[in-house]
């Protein structure tokens, strides 16, 4: 019998409206999904990230992850 361990990850989602729904992107892994609402897009993104992590080579995951990634806001003069 194979034992599967679930390890939690905290990832960042960037979400924006587009056409008749929303797009969601996992900032750290550069995985994108969409949905009719923000919640659907986020749920679909979670599923897409889980699928990616199940199938991707560990070296690809390492390459996509940016250690110490931060999301910050900043102002610019216009």
How many independent structural domains does the chain possess?
1
Half-sphere exposure of 68 (CA within 13 A, CB side): 0
Residue 37 is classified by DSSP as: S
Give the tens place of pLDDT for each residue, 44-68: 999 999 999 999 998 888 888 866 6
**Is residue 31 situated within a structural domain?**
yes
pTM of the model: 0.79
**Is residue 34 situated within a structural domain?**
yes
**Is residue 49 situated within a structural domain?**
yes
Phi (first) and psi of residue 11, to 5 degrees: -120, 165
**Is residue 22 situated within a structural domain?**
yes
Give the tens place of pLDDT for each residue, 10-36: 888 999 999 999 999 998 899 999 999
At 61 the three-state DSSP class reads helix
Q: Which domain holds residue 56?
A: 13-64
**Is residue 30 situated within a structural domain?**
yes
The confidence score (pLDDT) of residue 17 equals 97
């Amino acid at each position: 019998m194979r034992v599967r361990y679930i390890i939690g990850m905290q990832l960042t989602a960037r979400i924006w409206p587009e056409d008749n729904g929303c797009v969601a992107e996992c900032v750290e892994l550069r995985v994108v999904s969409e949905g009719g609402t923000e919640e659907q897009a986020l749920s679909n993104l979670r599923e897409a990230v889980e699928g990616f992590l199940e199938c991707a080579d560990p070296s690809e995951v390492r390459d996509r992850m940016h250690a110490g990634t931060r999301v910050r806001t900043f102002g610019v003069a216009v």
